[in-house]
Amino acid sequence: MVALVTAIQMAFEWVGYFQDTPSAAVLLRPLILAWYMGIAALAAAVVLQDPVPGADQDWLIRPLKRKDMVLAKLAFVALAVCVPMFALNLAHAMALGFPFALSLGLILFKELYVFACFILPVMALASATRNMTEVIIVAALLVVVYALSVTVGAYFMGADWCPTCDSGISWLQHVLQHAEILFGAAVILFLQYYRRRTEVARALAVFGALALVFVQLPWNAAFATQGWLTGSSGAATAITLERGPQVPGSEVTDNAARDKDHGARHAATLLLQGHPDQALEYWRRRGAPAEAPAAVELPMRAAGVSSDELLLVDRLEVELFADNDRLLYRRANADVPLMLLAAQPGIATDESGFTNLSVDVPGSVYRKLGSRTARLQMDFSLTLMQAVAQYKMAARNGLLRAPDIGICSSEYDQDSIAVRCSKMGRSLFCYSATLFAPDGRHNPEIVRCIPDYRPYLPPLTNIVNFFGIDLPVRDPYGLAHYAVDSSELASSYILVKIYGERDHFKRTLAVSPFRLSAPQDR
Amino acid sequence: MLKMGPIIETQNLSKTYGHFGALHGLNIAVPEGSVFALMGASGAGKTTAIKILLNLLSATKGRAQVCGVESHAITPEVLAQIGYVSENQTLPPRLRVHDFFEYLRPCYARWDRTLEDELREQLRLPPERKIGELSHGMRLKMALACALPFRPRLLVLDEPLSGLDALARDEIIDGFLQQAGKTTILVSSHELDEVERFATHVAFLHEGRLLFQGSVAALAEHARPLLVAAGRHGDERASLRAIFVALVRAARQRAA
């Protein structure tokens, strides 16, 4: 079994080396599954050599110190799983050209992380079972408990069931969950090997699955923690949010009909992707087509953001009040554009730099309000990003190595230049690339920004982060024309910019009373 | 030869499984050096009592002491003085016979390699066979061979004769008889006729309740009126079976 798990790890690392090729990507999915299952099966099998529940096992009447036994099992799994994984990961990093010292530290941290957050919980679960069949049944039961809890939470609380989900600070919630899992695993192992309290251990496992769902960090506390960790620079003091001069307008959109086009498959996909609130919202709207929401269009802009800065919206909480100040509707994490700054690339603005923010108001609220006036309050949680480094690389077959970006290469492929990077350690989540001609002409800057402010939490399976940008140089339909096209690539260069967080802060924008709809709209 | 004081002592020991009471206030004292037979029909509570003594199960009520230590706080040092053989004992099935002996040796400071070799030869244990491939009788012999080489102070045998053929029974009983006097033996069994051959003390359990405990000589004295009442007058050497049946009938009459 040890040989089989090592072989799976070797295959996984080998295919992972060619991760950016299409065939490797196809192979990686089953290999990741095999990786998880192989390691879990080995860890469980080691524990089940001497099952704890029951009263007939020979080891129970032998003069063995429980501490020695637990430590022996932990040491065996560490030697059988983590040591080969460490060696393979190190070889992988060396083959990709990463420095030895950097790789060593990061990989060691990753193996500890895998051991604490995956292997130890599996061993704890196995210690509360008699055999592999029970392990599978108990694990399936825990997954069902977890999934049901998530669905119930999302049903009753909407997006509030997980305030930090899908945001750049979700890593804080993950750390909390990992701490819960680690603590729970340690308690279960203690209960089983020192007290042999299987019923209590199993109840604790179920309670732990529920706690993973319902113990959620409040947004304000998590955001403040992130601000403290980043270290507020005060750079955002001058930034203000401004509302456009025109009155907000509304438009009833038939999202139900739009959702029907996506179908139930879309809802199932949302559920599987960990967005139960959105999946349930789809089913609600499908069940009540009259609930089609009204979209309130609100022109706004951010002032005080310089040209080398980006402003990210981490969370938007919208509150709609009636004219008597009664709260009609509140929603967090409404779909808003990621970046607010008018001057930044990819955001459509008018000549004054205003962009339209669209806020959905449920059909029932819209109808209840009628032609009466409403007041809107929007609480923004924002992050100011600033370009912290920039690098040049040849547009064609270029190679770039730098500690804060990793290893990047550029390759021309008919209509665009593919910039592909790999990096160990903390992943880059905000970067841009621009194609420049030697005389200074350039194509539009392409920005990739998916907020993720984690310091360094490695994925359990991968040691290297892959990311990249495609820079178009030719439109096959001839509609778009680029300042720098494919004929100039030999002398052109790419400017890669890396953005880092400067400040996390909040702003509130109040929209004075306005009418959502005229009386004749009703 | 009996030594001073009990090596096992229970006080008001009770165990319930849900609403089912397996043991009801058991009070027994096993003198050191004795061969103590815990007897009763299947389901009388013998195995439950033994598993509580060895901390394999926890008691619902009452307390038990083994080798001077509370059974729920039994330590590896105490376990190193106790040999245990049970009909249900799960030995590691993937290990070969000789591998299992190798695994056990370092666990016991007083392991006698010569005695181990003698036992393995006497019980004809195939060293290269996997334990999972052994027959029930061979596994019991294996368990016995693993329980003796460290010369335990206390040997606990839970239904050791169950499901064995006559030849295997004789071999196992010969093994016990060799140990009698060297160590205290607590043996549970419903095979009354077989146990009669080597027990010095007996305790009868019926539906979780103790009917009698004492030496075999005291038992005969205790049982005489019951045997007379049962029409066995003049039976000077009544068997354990006859006494047990008489005790159970008397208990049933009292309960009725």
In this predicted structure, what is the pLDDT of residue A517? Answer: 63
- Which pLDDT tens digit goes with each residue over B142-154? 998 999 999 999 9
Contact A61 B54 (CB under 8 A): yes
Q: In whole angstroms, give the CA distance from residue B12 to residue B34.
A: 22
pLDDT band at A486 (very low <50, low <70, confident <90, very high): confident
Subunit contact B90:A57, Cβ cutoff 8 A? yes
Inter-chain touch B89–A56, beta carbons under 8 Å: yes
**φ/ψ (deg, to 5) at A502:** -110, -35
Name chain A contacts of B91, Cβ cutoff 8 Å: 58
Between A213 and B228, the higher pLDDT residue:
A213
User: Is the pLDDT confidence value at A59 over 90?
Assistant: yes
Which member of A55, A57, A65 has the closest CB to residue B57?
A55
CB A371 within 8 A of CB A333: no
Mutate to test the interface with B, among A47, A48, A58, A197 (most CBs of B within 10 A): A58
More confident residue, A196 or B237: A196
Of A233, A292, A230, the C-alpha closest to A258 is A292
Residue with token string 């393995």: B120
Hey, which residues does B209 pair with through a beta bridge?
A: B206
Q: What are phi and psi of B214, to 5 degrees?
A: 160, -175
Amino acid in position A171: W
The pTM for the full model equals 0.84
Of all residues in chain A, the one with the smallest CA distance to B72 is A195
Contact B96, B142 (CB under 8 A): no
Judged by average pLDDT, the poorest of A126-130, A219-223, B63-67, B246-250 is B246-250
Q: Chain B contacts of A63, Cβ < 8 Å?
A: 76-77, 79-80, 107-108
Residue A393 and residue A494 in contact, taking contact as beta carbons nearer than 8 Å: yes
pLDDT tens for each residue of A159-185:
778 889 888 999 999 999 999 999 999
Mean pLDDT of chain B: 87
Percentage of chain B beyond pLDDT 70 is 92
Q: Which of B47, B58, B84, B90 to substitute to test the interface with A, most A CBs within 10 Å?
A: B90
pLDDT at A345: 54
Distance (Å, whole) CA B200 – CA A67: 39
pLDDT of residue A259 exceeding 50: no
Please report the beta strands in B115-232, taking only residues with DSSP state E, as ranges in sequence order: 154-158, 184-189, 201-206, 209-215
Strands A240-243 and A294-303: antiparallel
Percent of chain A with pLDDT over 70: 86
CA distance B251 to chain A (A): 31
Average of per-residue pLDDT across B42-54:
93
Torsion region of A39: left, alpha or beta (phi above 0 gives left; psi -120 to 50 gives alpha):
alpha
A243 close to A287: Cβ distance less than 8 angstroms: no
Query: Using the beta-carbon criterion (under 8 Å), do B104 and A62 form an inter-chain contact?
Result: yes
Strand partners, A16: none
Nearest C-alpha neighbor of B56 from the set A124, A62, A188, A67? A62
pLDDT digits 0-9 by tens, A363-392? 778 777 777 888 889 999 999 999 999 999
* Residue B120 confidence (pLDDT) above 60: yes
User: In sequence order, what DSSP letters do the residues of B62-118 get, joined into one string?
Assistant: EEEEETTEEGGG--HHHHTTEEEEETT-B--TTSBHHHHHHHHGGG-TT--HHHHHH
CA distance A235 to A385: 10
Alpha helices in A288-430 (DSSP H): 363-369
Burial label, B167 (beta-carbon count in 10 A; 0-12, 13-18, 19+): exposed
| Average pLDDT for A303-331 | 87
Q: What is the mean pLDDT of chain A?
A: 84
More confident residue, A250 or A478: A478
A-side interface with B, Cβ within 8 Å?
Answer: 49-50, 54-58, 60-65
Please tell me which residue, A443 or A16, carries the higher pLDDT value: A443
Min distance B107 CA to chain A CA atoms (Å): 6
- Whole-angstrom distance, CA of residue A157 vs CA of residue A213: 12
- Alpha carbons A448 and A466: distance in angstroms, whole number: 13
Q: Which of A209-223, B108-122, B171-185 has the lowest mean pLDDT?
A: B171-185
Give, in order, the Cα–Cα distances in Å from A226 to each of A131, A458, A504. 43, 18, 8
For the segment A19-40, the average pLDDT, to the nearest whole number, is 82
pLDDT on residue A273: 65
Per-residue pLDDT, A285:
67
Rounded distance, CA B39 to CA B210, Å? 10
Amino acid letter, residue B232: R
Residue A254 pLDDT more than 70? no
Closest chain B C-alpha to A62 CA, distance in angstroms: 6
Tokens 């060696």 locate to: A87
Give backbone dihedrals phi and psi of B123, rounded to 5 degrees, phi first: -90, 0
B107·A56 Cβ contact <8 A: no
Comparison of pLDDT for A14 and A376, the residue scoring more? A376
Buried b (16+ CB within 10 A) or exposed e, B188-225: bbbbbebbbebbbbbbbbbbbbbbbbebeeebbeebbe
